[in-house]
Structure formats: structure tokens, C-alpha cells
Amino acid sequence: MKQEYDQPLSLPPFKGRIKTSYNHPLFVQAISDCSRLLSDQDTEILLDRRNRVGVVAFPQQDESKVDIVIKEFRYMGVNRLKSLFLRGKAFKSWRGAVALVERRIETPPPVAYLEKRKGLFLDQSFFLAERVGGIEEIRFLFPKLPPSELHPLLVSLSQHLSTCHKKGILHRDLSDGNILVKKDKQGEFRFYLIDTNRIRIRTKKRIGLLSGVKNLIRLGVPLDFQRFFLQHYLGGTQVKRLHWFWYRINKTLYTQFVELKKKLRLRQLAQKLKIQ
């Protein structure tokens, strides 16, 4: 499997890697200008903020088409400076996604990544992955599902994340927006991790229990179901006081931090409006 994702890709001035099954002239030529593709009026733009994300239909050798998600990472200010001594986010996304695939943890299948440098600094980079149909962000399910449907979702999610941690995978931005979910034909939940540049890989050991519990605090599990969720993550019949305290204190601190950031942003916006 490692060889499947170890194909070099050269599209001067871009360099990167590509999945073997996509390494054919028709597709390689089609991705030679990802910036133009994202600016095309027919492209479905999913996000256009700090980064830009769009979906493009690409031709295949058998004349069919496949929907590919292209994520463009923009480098400005500190991020541009960081690229001098740190690997770029497109490469990290590729490395994280491949690590998930190798461990049989689902993620939108990685296709390629491309990076262009200007001097010593990263100037542009793109990460490409297949679009998975019929999925939605898990955050939309938490508030709308009745308890009878929320319970099995939380059980499946807790077991999935426990498996990730046992396999040495730690997603450092494990938020509701970075977990996609859908039901398969058997009615079982399937979860897909995205934003894989935030994946950290422990190759020789599993994630420690306290680190794993702390990793769950960004998820918007409703308050009345948090102990239930944690219980199934830990795999026991009840949650020990230490683990519940550790979860709640870290979640409270994180929530307060998020609220503070929102207030600062609103204050900055108000100041800008006054200046204008």
C-alpha cells in the first residue's frame, strides 16, 4: 500500500506526490493549474476564507468523471515565515491521510499534493482527495437527533475514536466540522476524518488515556450525553471520577478560550467599523 502513495509528481514549478491509479497523463495534465480550476465559474466552492476549497469533476481514462476536492493553502505573514523551516500543510495533509488509509481509518481517499516555492518560502500548495458522497458534518446531527438516534451515533463515534487512539492517531483539531458521517447499506455509521494536516502519528505506541480523553473536548456532544459518550469511549460500565474531572475541566477551559476569541474578534471588528 505504501508504494501506491509514493509516486513522485512533477509539474514545474510544482512538485509533490500522487496516488498510482491517478498517475496518468490525462489526469496529471488536468491538475497542472489548480489555481485556475478553483477560479472557474463551474467549480463548486465549499470554502473561501483563510484557505480555499472547491470540487472539480475530472476526466478518467475510461471517459468517466470523478469529483475531486481541491484544498488550496494560502501562505501569508507568519505562515509564510514558518514554511522556511516547517513542512507545508499540503504535505502534512497528504501524510496524515495516507497514515489513516494505511491504518484502515476512513478519510476521503487522498489523490495528490502539490507545492510551489518562491526562493526558500512556500508560495502555493494544494491537496487533492476524492469526494465522498452522502456525508455530512457530524455537528449538524448532534442538535437535531432525538435521544433514540443520538445514542447509537455516540456509541459508534466513541468506539471509532477509541480505535483511532489505539492505532496511534491523534487529530489535533478533532472538532465537529472535521468528522464527516454517513450510514452504510447495513445502517451502520461510517466516519471520515478530514483536515488531515492536523493529524499526529504515534508509530510505536497508542495514545495515552488522559491524552485521548482531552482530545475529545472540541466535540459538541450535548451536555446531557457527555458522560454517556465518555463511558463508551473508555469501554467501561461507568466513568471514573478522575477521567470525568479531566474531561470537564479541559472542556470548560477550552469553551472559555473559544468565547474569549469570539469577543476579541467582535471588538476588533467594532474598532475597524469605527475607523471607517
The predicted structure's pLDDT at residue 95 = 96
Mean pLDDT of the region 1-7: 81
Determine which helix (DSSP H) or strand (DSSP E) holds 28, and give its type and residue range: helix 25-30
Q: Does 272 score more than 80 pLDDT?
A: no
Mean pLDDT of the region 195-221: 93
Q: What is the pLDDT of residues 131-177, one digit of tens each?
A: 999 999 999 999 999 999 999 999 999 999 999 999 999 999 999 99
Mean pLDDT of the region 196-216: 92
Alpha helices in 167-240 (DSSP H): 209-214, 226-234
Half-sphere exposure of 33 (CA within 13 A, CB side): 4
Instruction: Tell me the pLDDT band of 77, cut-offs 50, 70 and 90.
Output: low
Domain regions of the chain by residue span: 3-130, 136-257
Do residues 108 and 131 touch, judged by C-beta distance below 8 A? yes
* Helices and strands, number each (H, E), in the chain: 8, 12
Do residues 100 and 169 touch, judged by C-beta distance below 8 A? yes
Q: What is the pLDDT of residues 7-54, one digit of tens each?
A: 999 999 999 999 999 999 989 999 999 999 999 988 999 999 889 999
263: which 3 cell numbers? 469577543
Q: Does 65 score more than 70 pLDDT?
A: yes
178 Cβ contact partners less than 8 Å away, ≥ 6 residues apart = 171, 193, 194, 195, 198
The predicted structure's pLDDT at residue 88 = 87
The predicted structure's pLDDT at residue 81 = 63
Instruction: Tell me the pLDDT band of 261, cut-offs 50, 70 and 90.
Output: confident
The predicted structure's pLDDT at residue 194 = 96
The predicted structure's pLDDT at residue 268 = 74
Instruction: Tell me the pLDDT band of 84, cut-offs 50, 70 and 90.
Output: low
What dotted CATH number matches 136-257? 1.10.510
The predicted structure's pLDDT at residue 224 = 94
Cα diameter, the chain = 59
Q: Higher pLDDT residue, 184 or 242? A: 242
